[in-house]
Amino acid sequence: MPIEPRLIVTGHNDDGDAVFVEDRHPEPVRVQALPGADFYLLWGTPDGVATVGERDAAPILRPYFPGLGGSRALFLRWAPHADEPSTGDHSEVEEKLPGLLDPFEEGGDGMHTTDTVDYAICLEGELSLTLDHGAEVTLTPGTCVVQLGTRHAWKNKSDQPALMCYVQIGAVRA
């Protein structure tokens, strides 16, 4: 049975005690340019320095990639035999997931580079990660990739969906 993404958020009540302020199953964001891909946008912090203890903190979910010091956490379920977006009309992607396509190279092979430190954790299925010159590794459940701003592309080459958890932190490119 596939994992159903769930988000739990903690905070404080009026007395300063720790409480659960949110517990829900987020609805997936779907776009036609990426058939079968379900984006579960969970949480994000504003660019700059993250703060805690704020009352009624609200997530920053857009743009898709965080700026310097910002963060994003999401689950992405990849359809079987799916890969990164190809060329074509992506107006719906920009509407629902603004900024997602900005780092992608021309040519439709899915290669892209982001100014983020990404923690990519495979939860279900298998997903291939390709780097420069065809270097490739297949992620299986329990695998964590630390992506340090390298040029890369993702592809599900299997007959089963793959569920990934991505945590992205905006960084400076040296």
Report residue 49: phi and psi, to 5°. Answer: -100, 125
Paired sense of beta strands 71-78 and 38-45, if any: antiparallel
pLDDT at residue 88 in the model: 60
CATH, range 28-170: 2.60.120.10
Q: In this structure, what DSSP letter does residue 49 have?
A: S
pLDDT at residue 159 in the model: 96
pLDDT at residue 115 in the model: 97
pLDDT at residue 86 in the model: 62
Domain ranges for the chain, please list them.
Answer: 28-170
pLDDT digits (tens, 9 = 90+) for 97-113: 999 999 998 877 889 99
17: its two tokens: 């005690």
Q: What is the DSSP string of 56-107?
A: T------SSS--BT-EEEEEEEEPTT-BS--SS--HHHHHHSTTTTTTBPTT
Euclidean distance between CA atoms 46 and 8, whole angstroms: 19
Assign residue 82 a region (left: φ > 0; alpha: ψ between -120 and 50; beta: otherwise).
Answer: beta
Task: Identify the segments of the chain with pLDDT beneath 50.
Answer: none
pLDDT at residue 82 in the model: 87
130: its two tokens: 């390709």
